[in-house]
């Protein structure tokens, strides 16, 4: 496995908080206002972890949430990583994001979610959200000279606006548009019957992405492969990514669509997390969970009910 040749993760994906100022129907992290996780890392530990990540030689960190900018030490964490030589990608819903927090830092990109091209559809999928604020955030990112990515989560509510959202991404000057089949995780899993597009609409969506990919080559990169969780599971099983996913309370998750955690940075030094992560990919429970996911995408529905690999000696029951 490629991860065996790496002495440190190629990337850390760090969910700073589960709290959010929106309550999106498709949210894969169960985020909403006031939903910070009990035991989220306090400022001091978050800053020392940022230093440990940099000292470990991790080149790249994705800062996510929830809405990461709601955390009072968001800017300090970004600065500590950047000063340690780590490049940043920051994910935001763009509702109250202050781009100046990233001034002078090593920022590879800022990703703004745009789940609709009209205010009505955007607000239906993102209750509490305002499309105009997200667009203004995208413009502010570009005005600050930072590279912009747009992400789009397709649902029954917004899939017909996908083409118009791609046009908005172009207008804003984004260099990348990220999407894929809706993930059956978190809030999305609970509202699945209301949200899941039909197979026929997915086929049209995929055809649109393939056509626009050809048309926009060299202007806007469309990232949509692997397109579905089963495809993703097969790819992850074959070649585990060099990415450590850190949850808001410091636990390290093996992979977003699996329930397993393999480490806790509040109990042991960060440097040991990489070995624990690599070891987890030899664990038969993890391998079987990937196989289940490849055969049945519904098995991701309870992936946010985390289970520490060290605390259970048995397989979790399959989700029905
Ligand atoms: S999808 Fe993003 S913006 Fe929406 S509730 Fe979840 S974390 Fe917040």
Q: How far, in Å, from the CA of 141 to the mean position of ligand 1?
A: 19
Give the integer Cα–Cα distance in Å for 141 and 134. 11
- The answer to whether residue 274 is domain-embedded is no
20 Cβ below 6 A of ligand 1 = yes
Per-residue pLDDT tens over the stretch 38-49 = 999 999 999 999
Question: 262 - beta bridge partners?
Answer: none
Altogether, the residues listed in the chain come to a count of 320
Per-residue pLDDT tens over the stretch 132-181 = 999 999 999 999 999 999 999 999 999 999 999 999 999 999 999 999 99
Q: What is the pLDDT of residue 64?
A: 98
29 Cβ below 6 A of ligand 1 = yes
Which structural domain, as residue segments, surrounds residue 194? 9-225
- The answer to whether residue 249 is domain-embedded is no
Is the backbone peptide bond immediately before 66 cis, with ω within 30 degrees of 0? Answer: yes
Backbone angles phi, psi at 34, to 5 degrees: 80, 10
Q: Among the listed ranges 2-6, 195-199, 221-225, which one has the minimum average pLDDT value?
A: 2-6
Burial class (CB in 10 A: 0-12, 13-18, 19+), 282: exposed
Per-residue pLDDT tens over the stretch 52-68 = 999 999 999 999 999 99
Torsion of CA 78, 83, 86, 91, to 10 degrees: 20
How many separate domains does the chain show?
A: 1
Residue 319 has pLDDT above 90, yes or no: no
Burial class (CB in 10 A: 0-12, 13-18, 19+), 238: exposed
Question: 177 - beta bridge partners?
Answer: 150, 222
- The answer to whether residue 111 is domain-embedded is yes
CATH of the domain at 182: 3.20.20.70
Question: 149 - beta bridge partners?
Answer: 111, 176
114 Cβ below 6 A of ligand 1 = no
Strand bridging mode 148-151 / 107-113: parallel
Nearest partner of 77 among 88, 91, 93, judged by Cα: 88
Query: Counting atoms of ligand 1 from 1, which one is nearest the CA of 186?
Result: 6
65 Cβ below 6 A of ligand 1 = yes
Is 0.75 surpassed by the pTM of this model? yes
Which of the two residues, 193 and 313, has the higher pLDDT score?
A: 193
- Ligand 1, atom 1: closest residue by C-alpha: 27
Backbone angles phi, psi at 253, to 5 degrees: -95, 145
In this prediction, residues 176-191 reach a mean pLDDT of 97
Nearest partner of 271 among 54, 22, 86, judged by Cα: 54
- The answer to whether residue 238 is domain-embedded is no
Q: How far, in Å, from the CA of 6 to the mean position of ligand 1?
A: 32
Beta strands in the chain (DSSP E): 11-15, 60-64, 87-92, 107-113, 148-151, 176-178, 221-223, 243-246, 251-253, 260-264, 307-308
- The answer to whether residue 79 is domain-embedded is yes
- The answer to whether residue 280 is domain-embedded is no
Give the integer Cα–Cα distance in Å for 115 and 103. 27
Q: What is the pLDDT of residue 2?
A: 87
Query: Counting atoms of ligand 1 from 1, which one is nearest the CA of 26?
Result: 1
- The answer to whether residue 52 is domain-embedded is yes
CA distances, 70 to each of 93, 95, 183, 250 (Å): 11, 11, 24, 17
- The answer to whether residue 247 is domain-embedded is no
- Ligand 1, atom 3: closest residue by C-alpha: 93
């Amino acid at each position: 496995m490629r991860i065996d040749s790496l002495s440190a993760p190629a990337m850390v994906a760090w969910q700073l908080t589960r709290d959010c100022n929106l309550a999106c129907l498709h949210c894969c992290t169960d985020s909403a206002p006031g939903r910070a996780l009990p035991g989220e890392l306090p400022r001091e530990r978050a800053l020392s972890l940022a230093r440990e990540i940099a000292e470990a030689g991790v080149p790249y960190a994705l800062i996510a949430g929830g809405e990461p900018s709601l955390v009072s030490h968001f800017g300090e964490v970004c600065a500590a990583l950047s000063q340690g030589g780590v490049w940043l990608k920051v994910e935001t819903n763009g509702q109250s994001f202050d781009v100046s927090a990233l001034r002078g830092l090593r920022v590879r990109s800022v990703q703004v979610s745009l789940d609709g091209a009209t205010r009505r559809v955007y607000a239906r999928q993102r209750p509490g959200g305002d499309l105009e604020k997200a667009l203004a955030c995208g413009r502010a990112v570009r005005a600050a000279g930072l590279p912009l990515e747009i992400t789009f989560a397709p649902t029954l509510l917004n899939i017909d606006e996908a083409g118009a959202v791609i046009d908005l991404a172009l207008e804003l000057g984004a260099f990348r548009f990220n999407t894929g089949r809706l993930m059956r995780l978190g809030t999305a899993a609970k509202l699945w019957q209301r949200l899941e597009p039909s197979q026929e609409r997915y086929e049209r969506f995929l055809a649109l992405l393939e056509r626009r990919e050809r048309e926009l080559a060299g202007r806007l990169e469309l990232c949509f492969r692997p397109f579905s969780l089963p495809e993703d599971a097969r790819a992850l099983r074959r070649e585990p990514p060099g990415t450590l996913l850190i949850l808001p309370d410091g636990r390290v998750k093996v992979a977003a669509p699996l329930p397993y955690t393999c480490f806790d940075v509040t109990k042991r030094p960060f440097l040991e997390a990489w070995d624990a992560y690599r070891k987890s990919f030899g664990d038969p429970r993890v391998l079987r969970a990937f196989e289940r996911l490849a055969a049945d995408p519904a098995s991701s529905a309870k992936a946010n009910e985390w289970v520490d690999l060290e605390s259970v000696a048995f397989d979790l029951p399959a989700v029905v």
